[in-house]
Structure 1
Amino acid sequence: NYVYVSQRYLTDYRVKEKDIIGKHHYEVFPDLPEKWRKVHQKALRGIVSKADEDKYIRDDGSIDWTRWECRPWYEANGSIGGIIVYTEVINEQKRKEEEIKKLNQRLKILIESIQQLSAVQSLEKVQDIVVKSARKLIGADGATLVFRENDHCYYMNEDAIQPLWKGKRFPVNECISGWVMQNKKSVVIEDIYSDERILREVYNPTFIKSLAMVPVNINEPIGVIGNYWKKKHTPTETEMQLLQTLADAAARAIENINLYAELEDRVKQRTEQLQAVNKELETFTYSVSHDLKAPLRGIDGYSKLLLDEYGDSLDEDAAHFIKTIRSSTLQMNQLIEDLLSYSRLERSHFKQEKIALKSFVKTLVSNFGEEIKKCGVQVKINIPEVDIVTDSTGLSIALRNFMENAIKFTCKSRNPEIEIGFDENPDYWIMSVKDNGVGFDMKYHERIFEIFQRLHRAEDFPGTGIGLAMVAKALQRMNGKAWAESKPGHGSTFFIELPKIKTI
């Protein structure tokens, strides 16, 4: 039987002291669930039971959350005289825990939304993310995204339990979204029909009873996010802050998209300009080179005729002059041929094809048989039986120019050697042409791959200064690169690197 109850107990369980003192617990609470009877019986056997969080359903169906402990109390002689039940209604604590749990869930939604907005590149995607996130973020029955178009509010997108105004426009001065943008602040209306800013004829056909709106870009609003409820509802200050944070993120996303589009347009315009200039340059180079060959053939032909017909009657100086003219003509012709090749390279379309590399290199080297024999060059081909996928024309241009240079710059060496090597890593194939020729100073490394750049006099080592420029151009179009390593008097090694392509 009850011998004592606290005032808190009387309050929590809605009973009066006079109605329970002296009475048995089961008389006061005749419908007590069986689990409690078992708890009491355990206490009478000396067993302590407790719970930090338990649901208590009252007679009227309402629910209280309680923390309780049930333990025996003892007589002076040590025997169990009864039980003591400590209880505490923790509804407020439970409410706060639920609020924290709900806030964490909403923060998760907000963070995910911001992450998505930071990555999107289209306004359509922004609209979709914003309306869906806004509705979930504070548990609304509908959400809209509204943008300002001159003197109108354009309801661009929505996510709601029933259709609202997607695709419609309303005058800025006549709708609540316009008010938010003009006043640069959010609004909460618990009862829309008691607010004079609401156009009743617009809202009457809808489910909406309450609304909340926040501006997109609060300093200079470009739009509004609206949330709506079918029952009267007032969002908390925290919920409005979450919604405003989403609106700020949307503003930044839209700003980034506009900036990206502007930059893309600039890049496109610049690319088109560069393509036009390059095309003009290619056409000019080809035309000039082609047109120069006609008078050059005349100079060469007449100088040869002059030498053949009147060579015996010319003095030594005159004969030397004519030979110099012919030599210069041949050099000029080679320069024009190289310019034409460079121009054709600019216009060519590279293709991917499977190449048996060792066989390819052997064939290429055999084309230099006469020069190799003349200079006494020893050529080593250290290439495995491997297939690569690349453009055969571009590869041929690169290796042919490397070989030409290697032969030219080793020809006067005591024991001329050229070694063609191969290496690879997970991403690239690498080929090299190494010689023991004159070499060069590495401070000129970048210069040698530019057109018309030479490090030696034409009298010492003939050439036009276009070969390595063609290599660089070819490798650029093949998404590869070319470089060299050298030291004066110790030869040079030229490399090409090509990206691995597994399929054709």
Structure 2
Amino acid sequence: MTFRSKTIAGVALLQIVILGILLFITVGAMKRSGREEVDRRADVTLRLISASARDALISKDFATLDAIVAETLTAGSVAYLRFLDEDGNVLAESKANSASNVVTERLQQVVVAGNNFGTVRLGIDSQALDDAIFAAGRLSSSIAALGLALTALFSWFLGSYLTQQLEALRLAGARLAAGELDTRVPITSNDELADTAKAFNRMAEKLQEVVGTLSENEASLKIFSEASSDWYWETDEAHRITWLSPSFAEAAQIDPSIAIGKLRWELSARGIEEDQASWQTHRDDLAAHRKFRDYRYWIGKGKTAQWISISGGPRYDDGGNFIGYCGSGTNITSQADVAIQLRLFSRIVDQSPVSVVVTAPNGTIKYVNPRFTEVTGFTPAEAIGMNPRLVASGETPITVYEELWAAIRDKRHWQGELRNKRKSGEHYWEQAIIFPILDDHGEIAHFVGIKEDITVRKDVEIVLSERTRMVQRHYESLRALSDIAALPRVEASEQLAEALALGAKHLGLPIGIISRIDENTYTVLHHKTPPEASLHDGQVFELGDTYCALTISANDVVAVSHMAESRYAGHPCYKAFGLEAYIGAPVTVRGLDFGTVNFSSPEQCGREFDDGDIEFVRLLARWVGAVLERDLSNQDILAAKDVAEAAQRSLAIQARKLAEINRELEQFAYVASHDLRQPLRMVSSYLGLIQKRLDIGSDDDLKAFFGFAVDGAKRMDRMILDLLEYSRTGRHEASFGQVQLSDAITNALTNLEVAVADAEATIEIMNDMPSVLGSPTELERLFQNLIGNAIKYRVKDRPIRVQVNCRPDGPDWIVAVCDNGIGIALEDRERAFMIFQRLVAQDAYEGTGIGLAVCKKIVESHGGHIWIEDGLDGGTSVCFSLPKT
């Protein structure tokens, strides 16, 4: 082989090897570059489509999903798009946009807060790219074969021309691989290399078209994303933010450049308290590389702080290594305000003291609050889905329901009262306001009923109405009684006849009778009847044939408004006279049964007799009795006038005789006391002289005898003085006047000053003692005797305490003088007030036994009475009453 041949062969072989290597490198570079760009664009496109369809997938909004499918398929590079739910069921999909089998498929799950809501599958048609690369490779191979055939011929310029063209092709391929999609190979000739350059340029144009289409799709999705209130984010494996979509700045009101490179929680508004439990759960999810959904927290500071919700899931590389998180975020600040308002409204409705019922336009119950259950007894589960007729009692008139529905269907509110029935069957009243809720188009969407249980109020109103009616009847009764009482004081028969007329008019009954009943005989004394009635005064009936027999038997008012429906329908009076209504009361005169006053009618009474009617007839019966008694008294007065005058003359004579006898008794008491005391004083004086003359001090017996004689004379003198005082007690009525009891007590204590001091007694007197009508001297003597006795009859070695107090008791004052002395036995307390009755030994305590008798006489002369009770520490309490006036 010649050197030329070797050269040609070597050059040809070298050209073939170089051409093959260049073609392989160029096609491989174009293929890798195209694939990488297609993959990147496909990932971006899939992420944008997933973010845009997230809410629609969560809510299963098929219309939105179909719209996204239709919009996406306008790009010719997209082979197909499918949306699957969490169970793998197709929610929306496109028909194949290409018949090619060369499809690059991408899928991404839509995960929010750890919950999988579905999957997005995207197919990218890479057939055009493969065809272009394949065509370029085939053309290059043809050119290489042609170049091999012509190598020998054109080997001399291969080192220059061919190498130059291939170098240009290599450089263009390298720039294309670097992403310069507008790179083209210059055409300087019209040969095979030029065709190769043209093929290469066509492949570059096709690739640029495919990438441009993907860029347009990406731009459309970016525009859609930027128009959305959501944003998208990515973090690295350390949770530092690496990427934020453009809408982040406006939605979160934070400059993205500040956020990039920071931990997501470093943007949290630290000044606002967060839910620690929720925060810990979120940290646990991140540490375990779990998906999370709807984690809420505040970002920013001060007034620009925003309440956001984020959802995301972990990212992994091709080797399955965790490389960070990606997800979306939503500004829910306004939603939070709305949620707060909704929660507030919900609490208001749930805790409302009135029932709230929401129904559909057809009346089906959609909601009831807890108060509804409290009032009706029906739980929400029992009420929802039912009609409000569930609580209807059947007692509300149908016209009320007709007015109700007419109002609310006319988009007006209705207000009124309904009589309903609880689950227990108990009926109740409720005040209701029912009104329509309109939708955005002004049509009725719901009805709302606000209802209040007014059963208690209605019961009170019924009672008040009844009481008002009763009060009115009482007023009318009192007015009728007033008219009767105001009748002129003429003859009793005229008064009684007029009273019957007024009573019959008030009761609405035409027949009125005052009867005299003597055993079984019923006599008409006075009557008021219609002119056509045959009744007349003096007419006599058997008592058993009249309704008054019932009144006499009951000894009280008997009232029957409808006799035929009462238990007295078989009474002889009903059979004989057919009287349907009757009311009557017994009449007493001078404490004895006299007869009755009664009213009746042959017609049924239009109402039931009430308490006012019964009390009216009862009072009228008393008035009739008083008139009859006055009439009888007038007759008795005339007969007794002469007897009274004779009695007065006799009383005057007796009074004069008694006054003369009193004067004689007073004179006798004075003379007797004076004449008796004179010999006693002489006996006492001469006994003293004899004792001195005989000098008997050494003879104990004789000394004792003289002591007895002297002591007896002194006691006799004391008894005579007490007897004189007793005889004078109670004769001072003419000197009675207002006496302040505290003054009488003070004067008595002045007289007892020495005795009180010697006994070291403690005297306690109540403040504000009253004044009474009486004799100052006798009341002073009364307190002196009682306090003196308290000091005298004391217990040895016990400090003396005396208390004087007073209390009201009806028309009287009760005064008590209490001591802590020896006391008086219960059986001796009556005898203690008898004259000359001593209850203790003479040698133990001094006294004549007249003191308490004098006290009794003083109290009784003042119109009171006196008695003994237990005192302090077993002592005595002498109590007496004095009239207040």
TM interval, short-chain normalised: 0.3 to 0.5
TM-score, normalized by length of structure 1?
0.46
Greater RCO, CA 8 A, separation 6+: 1
**Structure label with greater radius of gyration:** 2
TM-score, normalized by length of structure 2?
0.27
